[in-house]
Each structure stands twice: as structure tokens, then as C-alpha cells.
Amino acid sequence: MSQRTKNQHPRTSLLRARAAVVAVGLGASAVLGAGVAAAAETGASTGSVSTGSAAASVKAQAAAQAKAASAKKAAAKKAEAKKAAAKKAVAKKAAAKKAPSWVDPVKKYKLSASFAQAGNMWSSNHSGQDFAVASGTKVVAAHGGTVVKAGGNGAGDGPAYGNAVVIKHGNGTYSQYAHLSRVDVNVGQVVKTGQRIALSGNTGNSSGPHLHFEIRTSAGYGNAVDPVAFLRSKGVTL
């Protein structure tokens, strides 16, 4: 072997060694790059799944809160309605308690001929109480009930009463209104306490405008009781 050949051999070996190192380095880089890429892809995928789960969780929480708020609002509305109904019931009960059971048949009157009073105006003693008022004064039902008589000729009790009305109340009690100038109710009509039923007048056997008022134990003439004592027993001030 020549001297030249000997000198070239170590150099060739060195070059081959360097080439091998470079190849190994490139392979490692390729492997490392692939690993980084795979890791990055895996991370991106994991991040996407995490973001989706968080969004779904927020959406579910918002829906739950909205449902709870709606239920709370409905419950509050129901409670308010119940409170209003209770308040209305109390007010209605108080009003019913305050409302008078019986009232005067007319207002701004003067008591004139009284019950059982004797006189030449009647065939026997006076059967009711007279309330002296001007003709056309509003006459109201002294108590709620059903009209059983209404019209001329004393509504069937005779011409001495003129135009008259008889109302049936509970517990076998009747009220009669006579000498009316006008009758505003019909037989069978249900009336309330204080409701207008007629206008006062001077019809029938009357010496002047007034309302003749009776309390009876039946619808017909001849069963009258003292109307003033009766009304006072019901809390009416005369």
C-alpha cells in the first residue's frame, strides 16, 4: 500500500462517521417532529372537546336558572292572587256585616199617624205607620224579599190603600207600602234592601201626601204589627 493510500483511508473513515452522525440526527429530528405534531394534534383535539363541554355546561346552567326564575315568578303571582282573593273576601264580609238588615222606607220624613191610632179616617184603628213626605219621594224596600202584590186598588187590599206594594221577607214577615203615586216593581220581582220600589203619593183614602207603611205576618190585610217597634228591634232609628 502506497503512502497516499494510507493517508486517504483515515479521511474517508472520518467522512463516513460524520455522515452517519448527520443521518442519525436527521432521523431523530424527524421522529421528534412527528411526536410534536402528534402531541399538538392531540392537544388541539382535547382543547376542542373541553371547550364544547364547557359551553354545554354553561347552556344547561342558564336553562336551569331560567326555569327556576320562571317557577319563582309563577309562585309569586299565585301567592299575590291568593292574597288579593283573601283581601276581597274579607272586604266583602265586612261590607255585608256593615250593611243594615232593615232600613227606613223613606228619607227625610216626619212620623204622623201611628199604629193602632183611632180616628174617623179608618174603619177601625190605624193598621200601620204614616211617614209624612212630599209626593214623588223615593220609597225603598225596607228589607230584601219578593214582591207578592203590586198595583192599584191597594194591590188587592181595597181602594182605601190606593196604589200599593207588598213584599214577602223571610220568617213569615211582609211589608206593605200604600198611597203611592207610582209603582216601580212587578209581582214576582226580587228586590234588595234599600232598592227603590215606588214613589210616594196621595192615592186612596188619604188626607195628604205620605207613605202608609205596615209590617204584617201574612200578605193580606188584618195581620199587621207595630211597624215602628219592629223596625227599632232591627236596629233602625226612627
Catalytic center residues: 210
Residue-wise DSSP of the chain? --HHHHHHHHHHHHHHHHHHHHHHHHHHHHHHHHHHHHHHHHHHHHHHHHHHHHHHHHHHHHHHHHHHHHHHHHHHHHHHHHHHHHHHHHHHHHHHHHS-SS--SSSS-EE-SPTT---TTSSSS--SEEEE--TT-EEE-SS-EEEEEEESGGGGT-GGG-EEEEEE-STT-EEEEEEEEEE---TT-EE-TT-EEEEEB--SS-SSSBEEEEEESSSSTT-EE-HHHHHHHTT---
Cell numbers given for 238 = 226612627
What sign results for the dihedral spanned by CA atoms 58, 59, 61, 62? positive
